[in-house]
Structure 1
């Protein structure tokens, strides 16, 4: 008869998982892998690590079941493992932010006025996309966008936003999204666009959560302009 794991062994497993996640490089790697399947060389570059260092951290994540691999010729590609990994990462971020009072700090700061925090969820966005009355803006990197993005989104990485404002139609609101609910890029995009007189709001969730919900996504290079 198969023996069920004891409460103590489950606690130990949880502790082992927490120990695996207890390194900023591994959390950074998981965030990049959540955007789409990538090779170790790409992950190393995105995370600012050497290939050897990135590979070592990825092996820890793989042993814990947090990532999986497949071979593509000579390359080994990494993707998220099975299970509720995205909610786990989101919960870690949320708790960390709560502890540091980041949300309260942003609300109190004169730059981050409460109205700039306006956001919509996936259901509301789907309705507005169906009505055709918004411009969907992906402010992640072009590499992230190419791996997968929301249907119809244009890609203007946040650092290029000031130089490419003319690519955004001025006759309808802009909905910005980025890597996840606690990624500040979409938040800062809304502030920047509103400062220039454009109507803008952000998607509460990011691309990984949209994809995890089973909603339609697209892949391929960025659309340069809608104007």
Structure 2
């Protein structure tokens, strides 16, 4: 009885590890960290079919990681608990710290990451109150609206080439997006530097900001 009870306990825990042992489901978690989304929105953002996205969401739901809430005729999926942000963060950190292949893949996905100037959270917080830094959120607008770093201005990456003249020329422009696995901020920073402005990338995103104990702003 004791052995079977312990086996059952570990089987229940394994539901979580089995659910996240898939790259597509990890990407869905990464997207849901930013904001709740419908199946269709997640499918578009992850370049998967709606049918495949729905199947992956059901696996995550069975493991208690996401929940679907009906809003009219649409089901909106969200993370069930903020602790899942920590889970995703730690999985990512372990992979990047211990697996050379993960670091190689990140460099391949973000080929300019080693050459671009960066800024730390501490330096960002020191510069913002004095007006020395212009913080630019280049994620999609729905992600910005769901929660963003205080003081940030939203210009989605797709709009930035046409709106580059809106940016100041006398401040350090700091770009950020979904975190280190997102290259939107890199691409935005390259445009900013090419325009003759000063810039830097913040590697962290809203997940890291929350895990550091800071509140998000909402529009």
CA distance in 2, matches of 1:42, 1:169: 33
Change (3 A) 1:199 1:10: farther
Q: Which residue of 2 aligns with 1:190?
A: 189
Change (3 A) 1:37 1:113: closer
Q: Which residue of 1 aligns with 2:216?
A: 216
User: Is the Cα–Cα contact under 8 Å of residues 65 and 82 in structure 1 kept in the other structure?
Assistant: no
Q: Which residue of 1 aligns with 2:100?
A: 99
Q: Does 1:28 align with 2:35?
A: no
Residue by residue over 1:29-64, the C-alpha shift from the partner in whole angstroms, topping out at 9 and shown as x without a partner, is: 212211112222222222223333222211111111
CA distance in 1, matches of 2:44, 2:114: 35
Q: The residue matched to 1:164 in structure 2 has which SS? A: helix
Q: Which residue of 2 aligns with 1:51?
A: 50
Which has the larger share of helix? Answer: 2
CA distance in 1, matches of 2:201, 2:107: 19
Which blocks of at least 5 consecutive residues in structure 1 are unaligned?
220-227
Q: Does 1:37 align with 2:36?
A: yes
Q: The residue matched to 2:189 in structure 1 has which SS? A: helix
Aligned length: 209
Superposition deviation, residue 214 in structure 1: 4.3
Q: The residue matched to 1:182 in structure 2 has which SS? A: coil
CA distance in 2, matches of 1:99, 1:12: 30
Which blocks of at least 5 consecutive residues in structure 2 are unaligned?
none
What TM-score results when the alignment is normalised by the length of structure 2?
0.79
Q: Which residue of 2 aligns with 1:222?
A: none
Q: The residue matched to 1:56 in structure 2 has which SS? A: helix
RMSD in angstroms over aligned alpha carbons? 2.8
Q: Which residue of 1 aligns with 2:165?
A: 166
5 Å-filtered alignment, 1:1-227, equals 6=6, 11-82=10-81, 84-97=83-96, 98-100=99-101, 101-102=103-104, 113-114=114-115, 116-121=116-121, 123-211=122-210, 213-219=213-219
User: Is the Cα–Cα contact under 8 Å of residues 93 and 182 in structure 1 kept in the other structure?
Assistant: no
